[in-house]
A and B are shown apart, each in its own frame.
Chain A
Amino acid sequence: MDVGQMQRQLVEYTKSLFIEGYLDSQFLQLQQLQDESNPSFVAEVVSLFFEDSERILKDLTFALEQKIIDFKKVDAHVHQFKGSSSSIGAQRVKNACIAFRGYCEEQNVNSCTRCLQQVKQEYFIVKNKLETLFRLEHQIIGAGGSIPMVELSF
């Protein structure tokens, strides 16, 4: 695959992520913030997000495993996760968090546990997708090409 092909592939892949709702315009904002002074800004931010997310998810799981669940705490964690997922534009994760919070209010253990699974799932999916994206970018750069700007009409 030549650079041109790789670039096209990257563009298509990126677009699909937006169209399928995995990412929203916040991700575009991040991409726009990236510049020569900070060429790997997006990757840095995303990896910060991954790190933080693992921690939050761990806390969440722990909180829901308790005999007596402290829903306030669970809600706090979900809120936190909602905030950080919104930072990179992980839309599906964010939406899952919103639903999750609703169940926290109801203090419905089963629904909350289910929500946690959903949130985790969404998280891992988007994590996977982003890693693929970065891999594609690396390949292009490795092949001497530049990363094309994705134009989206949001």
Chain B
Amino acid sequence: MDSGFSSPRRDAFPAGLRVLVVDDDPTWIRILEKMLKKCSYEVTTCGLAREALNLLRERKDGYDIVISDVNMPDMDGFKLLEHVGLEMDLPVIMMSVDGETSRVMKGVQHGACDYLLKPIRMKELRNIWQHVFRKRIHEAREFEGHEGFEGIHLMRNGSDQSEDGMLFSLEDMPSMKKRKDLDNNHDDKEFGDPSSTKKARVVWSVDLHQKFVKAVNQIGFDKVGPKRILDLMNVPWLTRENVASHLQKYRLYLSRLLKENDQRSSSSGTKPSDLPPRDTAGDFGFQNLTNKQQNDVAVDSFNYSDVPLQSHSSETKIRNGDLKAIVSDSIAEKRRALSGSIPGTKVSPQISLNHSSFGPLKPEGRHAVFDCTIPSTQFTWSETPEMPLKKEHKSFLQLEDSSFSHSPLHVTQRKIQGLKSHSVASVCSNPTITESEVAASVETKPMYADYKREYASSVSSIGSVVDTIPTQSKSLMENAQLSEPSSAKNLAMKTQGFNYDLEFYPENLLDEDLHFYWLQGEYYNMNWGFENIGMPEYYDPGLVAELSSHLHDSADCTLVDQGLFIA
């Protein structure tokens, strides 16, 4: 990856840090460029968020950090923030002349590693390298396998020029790691992406992810566990931790999609009546929510999640309600799952949501679907594919229904690329993800940062559609609610043609499992922009918290979420 458009400087870090500045104000662009150059950074500027995303996607490993203004004309800065975080997993710093606490909080919730107030001082810019460094260290550590440690080790020892031992080129690590990886390259392993090696992570290639999803579906979403998945996948070099981490992200991703879906529908104001009777189980939407809420014993522990929800009351009320419900539901679901006492009845309403939309899905009755919320959301999607799913669709699709395995979710996300025209099609139409379908550059690389980068390219094809996409991917889950029979399929992709492959996550993903995993202490850092939310504290409620955080400003979550689960 050093062969990127700008090869990483080998000088003393942080000199040569490759910064991408995004701001629509020409005066600020000029000033920031000058200031950053004075810090010996390599600066690239752009005035539009989309332009920035394109740049980032073109050169997967061409930048170290992104600084963006919150108010951009073509795309909300927070959304951009999420995309970057998910697709490229780069640290993003937000800027604004507005320093209201709520805004800053929003930035943090969306994953900004810092929020600077304009006018910005030189000293503030001088220190931005710490975010890059911190991330690298964090990632290296996160990678539990030996690679991680080795990465750090290599990093420390491999620097060309370390005066005091602290200065080293971060690129050394990836390149060294790359060498190592090449040695160990297996068929399934795809370390081809330089960016992935840089991160010292498992790259969840399309193949790999498909294997994963297949395994999950085989086992059954409600029974899935990393060990079982690992066994089924039969990938020698993969570790249980890798799988667990991936599973967690997958779940979150789905749940977020569900949520977004809900929010979207709520905000878009689609009427539940529009939805065709997909809810075989009956009223999914709010009714389910109410049920769930009642059943949620765990609600208390998720106060945190509630809070953020409240704070975004600006969103539709429904949304808040949904969130709560969703959160509660999810929690309840989890609890139930864990205790193994998931009342079929309770769950079923939820499940139906998912079922209906996903044609092939067999209602299993166990959908840890969080968002049984707004049926209309789904409807919206199916009805108005073009409709930008800007609204937050952070629905949590935690579908436990194994039937989802056949759901469009599995649709290859690859299709995303061709989806520029908002043709969701691929998602739903193909129950199984076929690699061949991966037309888009979207390499269904789930969750991992590297993966995201690939995804980013596919995402880019979607352009503004991105917003809608997130829902799409999750939409599969959420779309279950879509009125259309083939809804699930159409939902996801339609809106944005972004075939994220939400399909990854068949309903089988149980948040229970996630929950369980969390309990196991496998809280993996999900780079969904949650990082800054202090998720770790919410071990159990963590999931909820994350979900809730995503609920905020869901509008932006979309792409990013989907990107994660693109297979």
Q: A29-B121, A87-B118 are in contact. Are A48 and B34 (CB under 8 A)?
A: no
Is A86 engaged at the interface, CB distance under 8 Å to the other chain?
Answer: yes
Contact at A86–B71, with CB atoms within 8 Å? no
Choose one: B24, B31, B118, B119; the contact of A45 (CB below 8 Å).
B31
- B residues less than 8 Å from A32 (CB atoms): 122
Q: Secondary structure at chain A's binding surface: helix, strand, loop or mixed?
A: helix
Within 8 A of A (CB), among B58-112: 69, 71, 96-98
- B residues less than 8 Å from A26 (CB atoms): 119
- B residues less than 8 Å from A149 (CB atoms): none
Choose one: A29, A30, A38, A80; the contact of B25 (CB below 8 Å).
A80
Contact at B31–A30, with CB atoms within 8 Å? yes
Is B27 engaged at the interface, CB distance under 8 Å to the other chain?
Answer: yes
Is A82 engaged at the interface, CB distance under 8 Å to the other chain?
Answer: yes
Q: A33-B35, A86-B119 are in contact. Are A79 and B97 (CB under 8 A)?
A: yes
Interface string of A19-38 (1 = CB under 8 A from B): 00000001001101100001
CB distance from B548 to the nearest CB of A (A): 27
Interface string of A42-82 (1 = CB under 8 A from B): 00110011011000000000000000000000001001101
Contact at B31–A52, with CB atoms within 8 Å? no
Contact at A84–B25, with CB atoms within 8 Å? yes
CB distance from B70 to the nearest CB of A (A): 10
- A residues less than 8 Å from B118 (CB atoms): 83, 86-87
Is A41 engaged at the interface, CB distance under 8 Å to the other chain?
Answer: yes
Contact at A86–B35, with CB atoms within 8 Å? no
**A87 CA to B25 CA, complexed, in Å:** 9
- A residues less than 8 Å from B97 (CB atoms): 79, 82-83, 86
**A89 CA to B69 CA, complexed, in Å:** 18
Is A88 engaged at the interface, CB distance under 8 Å to the other chain?
Answer: yes
CB distance from B36 to the nearest CB of A (A): 11
Contact at A84–B31, with CB atoms within 8 Å? no
Choose one: A29, A79, A84; the contact of B28 (CB below 8 Å).
A84
Is B534 engaged at the interface, CB distance under 8 Å to the other chain?
Answer: no
**A44 CA to B27 CA, complexed, in Å:** 9
- A residues less than 8 Å from B34 (CB atoms): 33, 38, 41
Within 8 A of A (CB), among B1-34: 24-28, 30-31, 34
CB distance from A51 to the nearest CB of B (A): 8
CB distance from A54 to the nearest CB of B (A): 12
- A residues less than 8 Å from B98 (CB atoms): 79
Closest to B121 in A: A29
Q: A33-B38, A80-B71, A83-B97 are in contact. Are A48 and B119 (CB under 8 A)?
A: no
Binding site for B on A (CB under 8 A): 26, 29-30, 32-33, 38, 41, 44-45, 48-49, 51-52, 76, 79-80, 82-84, 86-89
Q: Show 29 residue pairs from A and B whose CB-CB distance is below 8 angstroms, ordered by the A residue.
A: A29-B122, A30-B31, A32-B122, A33-B31, A33-B38, A41-B34, A44-B30, A45-B31, A48-B27, A51-B26, A52-B27, A76-B71, A79-B98, A80-B25, A82-B97, A83-B25, A83-B71, A83-B96, A83-B97, A83-B118, A84-B25, A84-B27, A84-B28, A86-B97, A86-B118, A86-B119, A87-B27, A87-B31, A88-B27
New contact pairs (19) apart from A45-B27, A45-B30, A48-B30, CB-CB < 8 Å? A29-B119, A29-B121, A29-B122, A30-B31, A32-B122, A33-B31, A33-B122, A45-B31, A49-B27, A79-B98, A80-B24, A83-B69, A83-B71, A83-B97, A84-B25, A84-B27, A87-B27, A87-B118, A88-B27
